[in-house]
């Protein structure tokens, strides 16, 4: 199956598939989306990731045309579509609850977008059959949506969106109604179809693991703003601010004081401990109280009292099979706790005094006040 998949279209294609220029939206005076600018490459799988109320669904509805932007312009394949109504945008959508038309059969649902385009009957039949085959539902054409399982309903919704050969595919939390195993299977399947068709896709989710596993790029959003945009690796390894660091992946945060900065080399105090670090950040906060961020897997446990390591005490050890989660009481940590994972055989008893050693590269430093964002 994989050998049939053509290569993903060049990521350097000069023309963006979707271009968003300073688009904003507020609802009766409450800002849902600050002016946002974004270019989505042809064939790219872009995820809008954020907690509920962050503006990701608003942005999706603006791209689809269900909402009218207060400001800014929107282009699809270089065509200005800001004022174009949704039915002329040639966009495919899969909703969270699928919104399959309950009064139509599976085949009629899939054929709907072709019938509105007055495609000849014979071609409709052919394309419906083809698309149902693509989502492996050939044998369900005459069923009603309510006779299908959640996973099957989602395939129908996908087929219905794909059959019109949309310029952009929008996915609004499509997996949230599925149970865990089915979800993973559908993610793989969707990703495979998407990259085989080279389909520009905007995917809205609040689930970071979905975002990390499926996306070419992720735009992390909060409070109506894009807080960081980048590949899953960039987002996970190099979060640029406090919000992104805690929203994606696990984070250990320490209260620290930034003493001096020299390019990307910094020196800071965590409690009594002086730490020299090299960060990946382009922008660093001013000297003074800051938050030091480090991923659990970058922390190492070492003996108590070690030089250049942060003192802590084992508070709880949670056995997880292949590894154990060690929760440590640490007076300099924000929230008083630090978590790190060790091989299950190396778990330490509760009450053991330890110290946490940080790597010289990897941690990041964020301005304090961002904690609220």
Partner 1 sequence: MKKSTLDHVLDWSGRILLTLILGFVLLPFFVVLIASFNDSAILSFPPKSWSLRWYANVFEYRDFGAGLVNSLKIAGIGASIAIVAGAGFAYVMDRYDFALKGLLNGVLMSPLIIPNFTIGLGLLILSTSASLPRTIWLVIAVHVIIVLPFVVRSVYVSLQNFERRYEQAAESLGASPLHVLVTITLPLLVPGLVSGALFAAILSFNEFTASLFVVNQRTQTLPVAMYNYVREYADPTLAAVSVIYVLVVAVLLLIVHKFFRLEKVLNVE
Binding residues for partner 1 (CB under 8 A) = 64-66, 85-93, 95, 97, 99, 101-103, 112-113, 116-117, 160-161, 164, 170
CB of 168 to partner 1, least distance (A): 10
Closer CB to partner 1, 94 or 358, in the complex: 94
Please say which residue, 125 or 373, places its beta carbon nearer to partner 1: 125
- At its nearest, how many Å lie between partner 1 and the CB of residue 269? 54
- Considering beta carbons, is residue 113 or 363 the nearer one to partner 1? 113
CB of 316 to partner 1, least distance (A): 39
> Measured between alpha carbons, how far is 333 from 344 in angstroms, rounded to an integer?
24
Give least dist CB 59 to partner 1, A: 15
92/285 with CB nearer partner 1: 92
Nearer residue to partner 1 within complex by CB, 86 or 198: 86
How near is the Cβ of 131 to partner 1 at its closest, in Å?
A: 13
Smallest gap from residue 68 Cβ to partner 1 (A): 14
Q: Which is nearer to partner 1, 44 or 90 (CB)?
A: 90
Nearer to partner 1 by Cβ, of 43 and 113: the residue is: 113
In the complex, least distance from residue 244 CB atom to partner 1, rounded to whole angstroms: 30
């Amino acid at each position: 199956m994989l050998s049939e998949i053509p290569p993903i279209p060049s990521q350097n294609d000069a023309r963006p598939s979707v271009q968003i220029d300073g688009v904003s939206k507020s609802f009766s005076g409450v800002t849902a989306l600050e002016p946002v600018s974004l270019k989505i490459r042809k064939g790219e799988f872009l995820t809008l990731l954020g907690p509920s109320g962050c503006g990701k669904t608003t942005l999706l509805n603006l791209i689809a045309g269900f909402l009218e932007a207060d400001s800014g312009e929107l282009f699809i394949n270089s065509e200005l579509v800001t004022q174009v109504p949704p039915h002329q945008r040639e966009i495919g959508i899969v909703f969270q609850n699928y919104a399959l038309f309950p009064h139509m059969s599976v085949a009629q649902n899939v054929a709907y977008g072709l019938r509105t385009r007055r495609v000849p009957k014979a071609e409709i039949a052919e394309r419906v059959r083809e698309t149902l085959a693509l989502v492996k539902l050939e044998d369900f054409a005459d069923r009603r949506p309510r006779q299908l399982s959640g996973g099957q309903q989602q395939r129908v919704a996908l087929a219905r969106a794909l059959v019109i050969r949309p310029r952009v595919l929008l996915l609004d939390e499509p997996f949230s109604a599925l149970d865990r195993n089915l979800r993973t299977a559908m993610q793989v399947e969707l990703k495979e179809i998407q990259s085989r068709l080279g389909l520009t896709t905007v995917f809205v989710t609040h689930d970071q693991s979905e975002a990390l596993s499926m996306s070419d790029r992720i735009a992390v959003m909060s409070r109506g703003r894009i807080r960081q945009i980048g590949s899953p690796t960039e987002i996970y390894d190099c979060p640029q601010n406090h919000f992104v660091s805690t929203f994606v992946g696990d984070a250990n945060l320490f209260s620290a004081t930034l003493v001096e900065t020299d390019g990307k080399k910094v020196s800071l105090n965590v409690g009594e401990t002086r730490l020299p670090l090299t960060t990946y950040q382009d922008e660093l906060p001013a000297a003074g109280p800051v938050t030091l961020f480090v991923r659990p897997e970058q922390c190492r446990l070492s003996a108590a009292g070690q030089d250049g390591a942060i003192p802590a005490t084992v508070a709880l050890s949670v056995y997880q099979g292949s590894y154990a989660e060690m929760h440590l009481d640490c007076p300099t940590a924000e929230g008083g706790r630090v978590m790190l994972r060790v091989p299950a055989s190396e778990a330490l008893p509760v009450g053991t005094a330890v110290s946490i050693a940080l790597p010289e590269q990897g941690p990041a430093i964020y301005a304090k006040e961002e904690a609220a964002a």
